Amino acid sequence: MHQDDLSRYIGLQKYIDRYANEEARVWLAQALSKLLKAGSISEHGASFIINNQVMIRIKPFTWWQQGMGIRWTVDGAIEMRADKVSWQQPVKVYQLSGLVHEVKHLEQGKRVALSQLGEVQAWFTEYKAGRELGLRMKHIPAEVVAWGELPTKENFIAARRAIIQQQSRRYLFWLLPPYPFVASYEVNLAKLLKRHD
């Protein structure tokens, strides 16, 4: 076994050992192993979870029924909707791109994650992870993909408009400020890319 692979395996094992529930351990080992093997974006997401000991929980979502079924929390965890995910069910590949989306928010930090620019970046990251996992990613608007490939202000405006049009009012994206920092789009983009490449 190559030294990097051995280190990764040991890190994954230490992470999994934190969970008392054996079914959770099996599910998470399968999910993270798939991400580690899928491609650079997916691998980065899994490594972030492992290296930062991000707890993944299954909980009922009550007041806000987020459509994707996965969300980040202010305490630095990731929660999956109990009516969509179960430790007893096999890992569904489409759930994994959602995990990578939420990892991007944890990596961004609260201020960036709670902005439309941060959300568009997370959607694009989810798209790239999904493609690595062999998913078609039809739910990601073409405007989001275009923004990620060429992140101009015009492409950002088109991407945020497409997300608002696609999602219902229950998806609170439309309430977020466009940018995390009081500055121009260009300044915000430079900070986003510098902090989170």
Q: What is the mean pLDDT of residues 175-189?
A: 94
* pLDDT attached to residue 8: 77
- Contacts by 147-151 with C-beta closer than 8 Å and gap 24+? 147/120, 148/121, 148/124, 151/189, 151/193
> Using one digit for the tens of pLDDT, what is the confidence trace for 36-95?
999 999 999 999 999 999 999 999 887 655 566 899 999 999 999 998 899 999 999 999
Residue-level pLDDT at 157: 97
Task: Classify the C-alpha dihedral 149-155-156-159 as positive or negative.
Answer: negative
Distance CA 78, CA 93 (A): 17
Rounded to whole angstroms, what are the CA distances from 80 to 33, 48, 150?
Answer: 18, 17, 31
Q: Does residue 35 contact residue 42 with C-beta atoms inside 8 Å? A: yes
DSSP 152-164: -HHHHHHHHHHHH
Q: What is the pLDDT of residues 98-154, one digit of tens each?
A: 999 999 999 999 999 999 999 999 999 999 999 999 999 999 999 999 999 999 999
Q: Is pLDDT of 3 > 90?
A: no
Sequence-ordered list of residues with C-beta below 8 angstroms from that of 37, at least 6 positions apart, any chain:
43
d(CA 7, CA 14): 11
Q: Indicate the pLDDT class of residue 32, thresholds 50, 70 and 90.
A: very high
Please check the confidence at residue 197 and state whether its pLDDT lies above 60. no
Does pLDDT of 5 surpass 90?
no
Quick check: 121 and 37 in contact, CB under 8 A? no
Closest among 120, 140, 127 to 41, alpha carbons compared: 127
Domain ranges, ordered by start, for the chain: 3-196
Q: What is the pLDDT of residues 14-29, one digit of tens each?
A: 999 999 999 999 999 9
Query: What's the CA gap between 30 and 39, in Å, rounded?
Result: 16
Q: What is the pLDDT of residue 4?
A: 66
Tell me the whole-structure pTM to 2 decimals.
0.92
User: What CA–CA distance (Å, rounded) separates 122 from 181?
Assistant: 17
